[in-house]
Structure 1
Amino acid sequence: MEAVVELKGLTKRYGELRAVDDVSLRIEPGEIFALLGPNGAGKTTMIGCITGLITGFEGQVKVAGLDVVDHYRVTRRMVGLVPQELNWDAFFSVRQVLEFQAGYFGVKPTRAEIDELLDQFSLLEKADANTRWLSGGMKRRLMICKALMHDPVVLFLDEPTAGVDVELRDELWGYVEALRARGTTIVLTTHYLEEAEKLADRVGIINRGRLLRVDDREALMEEFGRRHVEVKLREAPTAGVIEALGQHAVEVEGRTLRLNYTRNAGEEEGGEEVDYLLKTLVGAGATILSVEGGRSSLESIFREVLHEDADASSKGAS
């Protein structure tokens, strides 16, 4: 299947700085792809090269198999962009803003079509209101509506929930999932890593312009993730119980014991170390009140990948 977006050796230089450094990537139809990286990593520059906002790059960028330089009119029509910065025309109503936005792409939507989109994003009641009187969250939703007015094949969301409250963030997540359900491919950049963990099918990690890792979300979390189990006892463990645990590094805090471990491929959930912990506690006469398991978040994995990159760079420089 042809990629919706394909990059081959994409490099964008600003003098001696490589904002994007030899990036090759395929984004598949219908997926949600999360591009993660710290400030200045190259995320927005990469999106700019794909969407036509940035030119003069090296390498090749294709949208739906078409080169964005040779066929810029067609490819620009295929992409929608919700930038980090809120931008709207404060002299017009919400409905007028969307009419003008559609016109930039030669689209003439009916009033019913605009109202349907506004209704999907809970903005229909504000259709005739001046945009300057919208709340911050409403303006963010209006930005998404603008990007969807020409029915793009792929939608780029550059920090879509920046500066919004938790309730609106959850609401926007719901909109993103609904867009994917109707077949829209979505590329998401975010600093809220729980956002990527909840939504993304695949994750790419970029730092200093270089794409460090691309993988399925679950595969990435399985490879880098650390698992843990927390056991709460009726009473604090005695010195004898702790000694019996031997070489297993168990953290003790009051009546709670925490064991960090790595699950091997094909191993049953919990593994030998967890079995050993529980059997030792029962054998020592401890009363177990509860057992809870968990695993590393995508945020901790993200930090680990960046840390490895920093170590490799420092070794290469020395």
Structure 2
Amino acid sequence: MYVIFGAAGNVGRASAAALRRAGREVRAVVRDPAQGESLAAIGCEIALADLNDADSVARAINGAHAVQLLCPVPRVHDDPAAAMRRMIDASVTALRAAAPPRVLALSDYGAEHAHGTGITTLFHYLETQLRTVDSSLTFLRAAEHMHNWARVLPAALEHGVLPSLHHPLDKLFPTVAAQDVGELAAGLLLDAAPSRAAPHVVSIEGDKRVSPLEVARTLEELTGRPVAARAIPRDEWHAMLGRAGLGEQHARLIVDLYDAHNAGRIDVEANVGERRFGATTLRQVLAALLPHMAGAKTAAR
């Protein structure tokens, strides 16, 4: 049995689908029964679990050959870092008590840093805690997801301005499609390689690094509308994130993350593990996102 936490998300859904295509039994773990309907339709067993509850996690992993673990950053919480660490602690407690043969944790570029990288330090904590679990461990570190641009696409389409916290606008940075992360995760879980004494670190990004200027140009090509990238001044970040509905602590995590990005600290860890590259392009991801944006009209190009 392959147990996929966060199976309703973009990465988890891709992993579950790939494992089902390979003929494996999959237990898709979700928070709400409605999230499991489409997963049940492809033959997944559905389990409900709360990552804050070690007993709940233990029930979900019962009988698992392999577990894919995702601990999301809680968006609606006064202290999202503390909330995520509690989820990690509860999950690790359950995994220690009944360690499955294999555990793959979805992590981030920059997770080797313990301090100064905002949200990414939480994935450092995840990796550190999982090292105490007696399983064959894989840490799949992904670059920034291309789907993150969905958050600002409505404003870009309405006003013709694509806001960016990446500075400068012509700087290339690694990014990846969630579909590629999920499919690679499934492939790594299916890998028949023997257990490793140390965690296997795998990094994934797209085959081409991009800049905010390129994102804007791609949107122009897809929509036939003018779109200009704009670097949001550093002193406006907190206010902008607050208007987006983020609390002070969550905004601080994001500000610290992009400070680290712009300083060049968020990247592949040198000489560690292996590197993989996804095949999905930025253009493909944006083209798939646009039909779901209010008022978007994709040009026939």
User: TM-score, normalised on structure 1?
Assistant: 0.28
Task: Give the number of the structure whose residues are more often helix, by fraction.
Answer: 2
User: Which structure: larger Rg?
Assistant: 1
Give TM-score scaled by structure 2 length.
0.30
